[in-house]
Amino acid sequence: MSDQKTERLINLTLALLSSKRYLTKSEIFNNVAGYSGSPETMERMFERDKDELRNLGIRIEVRALDPLFEDDQGYLIDSDTFQINPNDFSQEEIFLLTMAANLWHGSALQKDSKAALLKIQSLDGLVATNTVASPVIEDNEDSKKLLLIFDAVQRFITLEFEYKGTIRQVEPYGIYTRRGFWYLAAQENDIVKSFKVVRIGQQIRATSKAQAFDKPSEFKLSAFLEDINSPTTSKAEVRIRKNQALALRKRHKVEEVDSEWDKLFIDYIFEEDLIESLLWYGSNLVVISPTSIRNQIVNRAKGLMNV
């Protein structure tokens, strides 16, 4: 099913579902986006669309608008007969259902996902999301990687993968999307971190059986995402050699330590971004605190020397 046809079916369903009275074909053709061409063309499109909706389990009621002219018919979807009650779902739940159905666009489940997406979208035309821009799962190596992550999150299976040149061993807590990309929220070394899925190496593997760990009861993915969207600033203390790291010197206040080293403090939000930027300075920079960043830089530097 093409995106254009899906959009037209959504528009038709919304129109017939929200109307308080039976709509004529003329009203549908003039007001529902997606119908164009000659009257015969629109007639054929409408007949196919009606069959499509019925196949999806959406019942269209037909009634003669004038007892004297049976050909003058009106069309309506009775909200009481609709398979999904919009009052049963919050706006957030409708968004999640929409995203779940949209995930499988382009995969073997595309037909089923389009049907589900059509019904869900018809619940509320004001869902605060752009499903077209939402990440999707294609039938390729990335889909296998993502499916493995989904399974690990659901069944509490530990994972091992390469991420930015380092082998990571994590306990997956959740998966989410941000700015069109998938992210894994997972605990590594007692810290819950975010891993961009496209940067995870293809050699990802499960390293345990199901129920290998207990996700902390206090961990809530929604709260984790709030922290990401409203991050707090942390501070790192570093030492830099004299006359080195000029870019850092321009951005931060420098204090002299001795004849060889100077000291400065760096405010940061994302630990990973800071680590990547500091690695460029090699032996001309030493991290004093926090310990977690210091240890990661030391380990990565050793790994680079062994390459």
Q: Which domains does the chain have, with CATH numbers?
A: 3-81 (1.10.10), 141-229 (2.30.30), 234-305 (no CATH)
**Total residues found in the chain within this entry:** 307
Residues forming beta bridges with residue 179, ordered by sequence position? none
Query: Mean pLDDT across the stretch 60-73?
Result: 74
- Listed as own residue / partner, the contacts of 114-118 with beta carbons closer than 8 Å and 24 or more positions apart are 114/1, 114/6, 115/56, 117/6, 118/6, 118/9, 118/10, 118/13, 118/56
Mean pLDDT of the chain: 78
Residues forming beta bridges with residue 209, ordered by sequence position? none
Which residues contact residue 292 at a Cβ distance below 8 angstroms, ignoring those fewer than 6 apart? 189, 191, 271
More confident: 64 or 7: 64
Query: Mean pLDDT across the stretch 255-265?
Result: 94
Alpha helices in the chain (DSSP H): 3-18, 25-31, 39-55, 91-103, 110-123, 141-155, 221-229, 246-251, 271-279, 291-305
Structure tokens at 153: 């999150």
Q: Does the pLDDT value for residue 158 go beyond 70?
A: yes
Cα–Cα distance between 57 and 45 in angstroms, integer? 19
Q: Does the pLDDT value for residue 173 go beyond 80?
A: yes
pLDDT band at 130 (very low <50, low <70, confident <90, very high): very low
pLDDT band at 60 (very low <50, low <70, confident <90, very high): confident
Cα–Cα distance between 95 and 58 in angstroms, integer? 21
Helix (H, G, I), strand (E, B) or coil at 53: helix
Would you state the pLDDT for residue 90? 55
More confident: 123 or 145: 145
Query: Where is 287: in which H helix or E strand?
Result: strand 285-289
Would you state the pLDDT for residue 80? 65
Cα–Cα distance between 72 and 112 in angstroms, integer? 34
pLDDT band at 3 (very low <50, low <70, confident <90, very high): low
Burial of residue 244 (CB within 10 Å: 0-12, 13-18, 19+) is middle
Cβ atoms of 16 and 73 closer than 8 Å: no
Q: Does the pLDDT value for residue 57 go beyond 50?
A: yes
pLDDT band at 176 (very low <50, low <70, confident <90, very high): confident
Q: Does the pLDDT value for residue 206 go beyond 90?
A: yes
Query: Mean pLDDT across the stretch 10-34?
Result: 83
Burial of residue 110 (CB within 10 Å: 0-12, 13-18, 19+) is middle
Q: Does the pLDDT value for residue 213 go beyond 90?
A: yes
Query: Where is 85: in which H helix or E strand?
Result: none
Q: Does the pLDDT value for residue 64 go beyond 60?
A: yes
Would you state the pLDDT for residue 89? 52
pLDDT band at 87 (very low <50, low <70, confident <90, very high): low
Would you state the pLDDT for residue 140? 54
pLDDT band at 109 (very low <50, low <70, confident <90, very high): very low
Query: Mean pLDDT across the stretch 86-102?
Result: 51
Would you state the pLDDT for residue 123? 45
Report residue 303: phi and psi, to 5°: -65, -40
Would you state the pLDDT for residue 188? 95
Query: Mean pLDDT across the stretch 27-45?
Result: 89
Cβ atoms of 30 and 11 closer than 8 Å: no
